[in-house]
């Protein structure tokens, strides 16, 4: 089938590559000529396991094409995906200007019936706005074509995006058009094997489903972080509590890992956006406000431990930091807990000596060259001359470190672990001090 994807960002590129892989003919349109040129040379703008070979193989076989020519894109696809960004506005609500720009472009060039599919995470009611924009533009151009607007939110996780897209848990289709549903069922049939994963509903419910999923997951995390803080005060161990409650299938083990807060491009943005949308309809979303507030506080947690350990004085100290990305298997630093920590440490005169398996370039891009940030080539190199070691991201490479080496090179022999990677009893055998989230302070 002929498909066009507008917006070659995370969601757009992964979706396009996966659709091409199963045999659809995909044209990707983006306003960024540089990005298009790079993709044609095989240079993929994001780090995502498995994505580069997938895109390049499909490009070579002519199933995926990249262009800035929107007219060509509209002409090509009978199904047109909108996968552009919806960045937070100043007040945290989702900014729809890119979505609306694509809607106008589609209406400007369309010469036949089109199915317009919203993949971007957009507030409830956006499909109606897209319908209005397309209708108004068609009218102003004296064109009369029919079209459908479908909400088809994406649920991929960074670091596992290709797999999530290839093997989705569910495919949500928000549409009341039988014709659009039929086409989309056909489009997704290669991904809909074994049992029916397609759930069809009205457009507004589909739009809300996306926010509901991310907000539920963010709520689980903030809830656990709150309990971790309580466990600490009660002298309990949150890791035991986690196992104790996760064994109840109604609760489950997933997404109940306490830590130094959630980051990324989705949870912080989507929780905020739903809070703002709620306000817009006269409702105070108290749980979601609390989820956001708890997360904000949790991102300060490692800094609080460090300050309490050093009695409020870290001036001139060198802090070794492992993990900069907001989670493993990505170079994404958006809303990463490491940033809150580094910025706090710098405000208090400390020097950060950091390592991340993928996010070094991104850190350099964000912070540039500064005397109080030293980006080191290996995790071991961060330790030399450091006072303490802090862990912000649970990369696999950090899970079994050489504790003797840490003891030798980290002057104050202390680890602050924002992801609860180790057993406190093991660390104490090495004679190291250990702070973890909700496990009781230093041993
Ligand atoms: C999230 C959702 O998991 C996806 O389902 C969704 O499609 C995506 O947002 C999106 O809207 O595009 P992602 O942001 O890639 O995916 O990352 P997650 O794996 O969900 O992790 C988010 C954050 O929560 C990370 O900082 C992670 O460290 C933290 N986290 C996760 C915890 O602190 N504890 C946990 O138990 C799980």
28: confidence class by pLDDT, cuts 50, 70, 90: very high
Apex 96 CA angle, 91 and 101, nearest 5: 145
Q: What is the DSSP string of 45-95?
A: SS--TTHHHHHHHHHHTTSEEEES-HHHHHHH-SEEEE-----B-TTSSBP
- For residue 442, the model assigns a pLDDT of 45
Q: Is residue 94 lining ligand 1, measured as CB closer than 6 Å? A: no
Select from 3.40.50.970, 3.40.50.720, 1.20.1090.10, 3.30.530.20 the CATH code of 2-201.
3.40.50.720
- For residue 441, the model assigns a pLDDT of 56
Residue range 211-260, pLDDT digits in tens: 999 999 999 999 999 999 999 999 999 999 999 999 999 999 999 999 99
- For residue 175, how many other CB atoms are within 10 A of its CB? 23
Q: What is the ipTM of this complex?
A: 0.94
Judged by average pLDDT, the poorest of 9-13, 92-96, 358-362 is 92-96
pTM listed for this prediction: 0.93
Residues 6 or more apart from 287 whose CB is under 8 A from it?
219
Fold: same for 211-297 and 299-436: no
46: confidence class by pLDDT, cuts 50, 70, 90: confident
In the chain, what are the domain boundaries? Answer: 2-201, 211-297, 299-436
- For residue 108, the model assigns a pLDDT of 97
- 209, 266, 328, best to mutate for ligand 1 pocket (most atoms within 8 Å of CB): 266
Select from 3.30.43.10, 3.40.50.10090, 3.30.565.10, 3.40.50.720 the CATH code of 299-436.
3.40.50.720
Q: Is residue 430 lining ligand 1, measured as CB closer than 6 Å? A: no
- For residue 248, how many other CB atoms are within 10 A of its CB? 9
Q: Determine which residue's CA is closest to atom 16 belonging to ligand 1.
A: 157
CA of 76 to the centre of ligand 1 (A): 34
CA dihedral 265, 392, 224, 208 (to 10 degrees): 10
Nearest to 418 by CA among 350, 319, 331: 319
- For residue 276, the model assigns a pLDDT of 93
192: confidence class by pLDDT, cuts 50, 70, 90: very high
Active site residues: 266
Please give the CATH number for the structural domain made up of 211-297.
1.10.1040.10
Measured distance CA(190)–CA(182) in Å, rounded: 14
CB 186 within 8 A of CB 3: no
Residues 6 or more apart from 254 whose CB is under 8 A from it?
none
CB 64 within 8 A of CB 55: yes
Q: Which residues pair with 375 in a beta bridge?
A: 354
Mean pLDDT value across the chain: 95
Measured distance CA(228)–CA(83) in Å, rounded: 37
Average pLDDT value for residue range 419-436: 95
Per-residue pLDDT at 443 exceeds 70: no
Give me the numbers of helices (H) and strands (E) for the chain, helices first please: 17, 14
Per DSSP, which regions of 258-409 are E strands? 318-322, 351-355, 373-375, 388-391
- For residue 282, the model assigns a pLDDT of 97
């Amino acid at each position: 089938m002929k498909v066009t994807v507008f917006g070659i960002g995370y969601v757009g590129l992964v979706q396009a590559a996966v659709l091409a892989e199963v045999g659809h003919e995909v044209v990707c349109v983006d306003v960024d000529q540089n990005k298009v040129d790079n993709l044609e040379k095989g240079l993929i703008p994001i780090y995502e396991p498995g994505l580069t070979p997938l895109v390049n193989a499909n490009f070579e076989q002519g199933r995926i094409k990249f262009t800035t020519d929107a007219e060509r894109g509209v002409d090509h696809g009978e199904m047109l995906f909108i996968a552009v960004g919806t960045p937070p506005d100043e007040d945290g609500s989702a900014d729809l200007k890119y979505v609306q720009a694509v809607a106008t472009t589609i209406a400007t060039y369309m010469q036949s019936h089109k199915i317009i599919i919203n993949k971007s995470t957009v507030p409830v009611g956006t499909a109606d706005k897209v319908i209005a924009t397309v209708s108004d533009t068609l009218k102003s151009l004296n064109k009369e074509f029919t079209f459908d607007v479908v909400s088809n939110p994406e649920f991929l996780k960074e670091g596992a995006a290709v797999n999530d897209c290839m093997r989705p848990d569910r495919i949500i289709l928000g549409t009341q058009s039988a014709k659009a549903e039929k086409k989309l069922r056909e489009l997704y049939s290669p991904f809909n094997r074994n049992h029916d994963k397609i759930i069809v509903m009205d457009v507004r419910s589909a739009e809300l489903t996306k926010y509901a999923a991310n907000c539920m997951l963010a709520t689980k995390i903030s809830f656990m972080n709150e309990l971790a803080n309580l466990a600490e005060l009660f002298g309990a161990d949150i890791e035991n509590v986690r196992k104790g409650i996760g064994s109840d299938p109604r609760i489950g083990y997933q997404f109940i890992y306490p830590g130094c807060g959630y980051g990324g491009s989705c949870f912080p943005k989507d929780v905020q956006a739903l809070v703002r949308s709620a306000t817009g309809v006269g409702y105070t979303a108290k749980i979601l406000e609390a989820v956001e507030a708890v997360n904000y506080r949790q991102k300060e947690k490692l800094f609080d431990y460090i300050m309490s350990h050093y009695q409020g004085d870290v001036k001139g100290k060198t802090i070794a930091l492992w993990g900069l990305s907001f989670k493993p298997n990505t170079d994404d630093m958006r809303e990463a807990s490491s940033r809150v920590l580094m910025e706090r440490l710098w405000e208090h005169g400390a020097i950060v000596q950091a390592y991340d398996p993928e996010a070094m370039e991104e850190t350099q891009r964000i912070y540039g060259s500064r005397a109080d940030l030293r980006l080191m080539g290996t995790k071991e190199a961060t330790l030399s001359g450091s006072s303490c070691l802090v862990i912000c991201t649970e990369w696999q490479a950090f899970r079994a470190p050489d504790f003797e080496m840490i003891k030798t090179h980290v002057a104050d022999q202390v680890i602050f672990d924002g992801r609860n990677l180790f057993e406190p009893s093991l660390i104490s055998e090495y004679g190291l001090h250990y702070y973890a989230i909700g496990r009781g302070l230093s041993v």
